[in-house]
Structure 1
Amino acid sequence: MTRLRSTPSQTVGPFLQIGLIQEDSAFAVPLATPGAVWITGRVFDGAGTAIDDAMVETWQADLAGLADDEIHSDRRGFARSDTRIGRFAVYTVVPSPVCDGAGGQQAPHLDMSVFSRGLLHRVVTRVYFPEHADQHSVDPVLATVPPERRGTLIAVRDGDGYVFDVHLQGDGETVFFDV
């Protein structure tokens, strides 16, 4: 049997660093934006080993009332970071609650996609914030997650920012959504 090498469409691998990550990719808002925070974390494989060739992207519905001149027009609520140094880091503001279209509200959150070796398609999760726990109980998306797994979607406050680790498999696997 002939053994064929993997192609870029079969593995993410080192290709993330070619053209996808730019110097300012990690900034959803400009440096020194009032109220901005760093959200950092690691991506772990099923064996609990941190992955150093993954990439995360975050989006958010709004930027908590910032004026248009306070945001990069091409970065409005979007950031991208790789894990070359063992962790990812994105700089943003904690968003406001979002109308869910049915008259209710979703708790403040970021949407996050994770790209990594071994994944043919991205996985999608959410990052909720601990100070909005009162809103978590009425969030229609979070309500679909079994109570014992909801903690995998809540960032941990760390100094002036947050930590959010992603576990692709195994103990403490992060909840991912079909989108």
Structure 2
Amino acid sequence: MRQTLDYLKETPSQTAGPYVHIGLAPGAAGFDIYKQELGKDIAGPNAKGERIRIEGRVIDGMGSPIKDVMLEAWQANAAGIYAHPEHPGAVEDGFRGWGRIITDFNTGDWGFDTIKPGAVTDQNGRTMAPHISLWIVARGINVGLQTRLYFSDEEASNAADPVLNLIEWERRRQTLIAARTEQDGKPVYRFDIKLQGEDETVFFDI
């Protein structure tokens, strides 16, 4: 006989909080419990393409950096191919195309090294500009935020990108463009994520 469990109440929601690092990136929280922490190496040593660094901050509505953020990044390799079990051997050995990034608990700065991805084809056969997908969680964020990072030196590809073109205002599109600079001879892209306020970053409902 089935029983009705109407007396059970919905579990209260709560934000990710700083404890998220203990479970998902324990090394950043000072816990040395894994031989190899999941998600630290995105591209691997054998990946072809241009080696780049991406740096930024996650900024709240008051303009202050948030210091307990975890980001997850997904990207294709330089040929525009994602690492996937259905495509064995399609990417370089060691290329994961996925990683976890933790902000510095003192400054709020985050950054990671990878290779610049190539243009990819979506499920409808449309070419998308090179980009990296980012998912953001932190204290004060009830639902993880999904956004994309595009590259400032891919102007032609960006102009034709079907996702960027869904954003009506040019100024809003610019919140997804990482600015290319150079440090010690290495390309560095700056990408600050603004949660609220003027020039709030575009987030996607996926």
Give the shorter-chain TM-score range. Answer: 0.7 to 0.9
Cα distance in 2 between the residues matched to 1:177 and 1:101 = 17
Does residue 162 of the first structure (1) align with residue 182 of the second (2)?
Answer: no
Q: Deviations over 1:100-140 (max 9, x none)?
A: 23332010101101101111110100000011110111111
Q: Give the superposition deviation at 1:32.
A: 8.3
Unaligned runs of 5+ in 1: 1-6
> Could you tell me whether the CA contact under 8 Å between 1:42 and 1:164 is conserved in 2?
yes
Cα distance in 2 between the residues matched to 1:26 and 1:172 = 30
Provide the aligned length of Structure 1 versus Structure 2: 168
Q: Which residue matches 1:27?
A: 41
Q: Which residue matches 2:72?
A: 57
Cα distance in 1 between the residues matched to 2:12 and 2:151 = 35
Cα distance in 2 between the residues matched to 1:161 and 1:131 = 12
Amino acid at match of 1:158: T
Unaligned runs of 5+ in 2: 1-10, 28-36, 80-89
Amino acid at match of 1:39: I
Name the % identity.
Answer: 40
Aligned Cα root-mean-square deviation (Å): 2.2
Q: If the length of structure 1 is used for normalisation, what is the TM-score?
A: 0.84
Counterpart selection for 1:151 from 159, 174, 178? 174
> Could you tell me whether the CA contact under 8 Å between 1:54 and 1:82 is conserved in 2?
yes
Q: Give the superposition deviation at 1:28.
A: 0.5
Using CA pairs under 8 Å that are at least 6 residues apart, name the structure with larger relative contact order, 1 or 2: 1
Q: Which residue matches 1:42?
A: 57
> Could you tell me whether the CA contact under 8 Å between 2:151 and 2:178 is conserved in 1?
yes
Counterpart selection for 1:91 from 98, 110, 113? 113
Q: Give the superposition deviation at 1:58.
A: 0.7
Cα distance in 1 between the residues matched to 2:139 and 2:45 = 31
Counterpart selection for 2:157 from 135, 147, 150? 135
Q: Give the superposition deviation at 1:41.
A: 0.7
Range that drifts further, 93-102 or 119-128: 93-102
Change (3 A) 1:108 1:101: same
Cα distance in 1 between the residues matched to 2:12 and 2:144 = 14
Cα distance in 1 between the residues matched to 2:203 and 2:91 = 32
Question: Who wins on radius of gyration, i.e. which is larger?
Answer: 2
Q: Give the superposition deviation at 1:96.
A: 0.9
Q: If the length of structure 2 is used for normalisation, what is the TM-score?
A: 0.74
Q: Deviations over 1:153-178 (max 9, x none)?
A: 00011212211100011111000000
Amino acid at match of 1:45: D
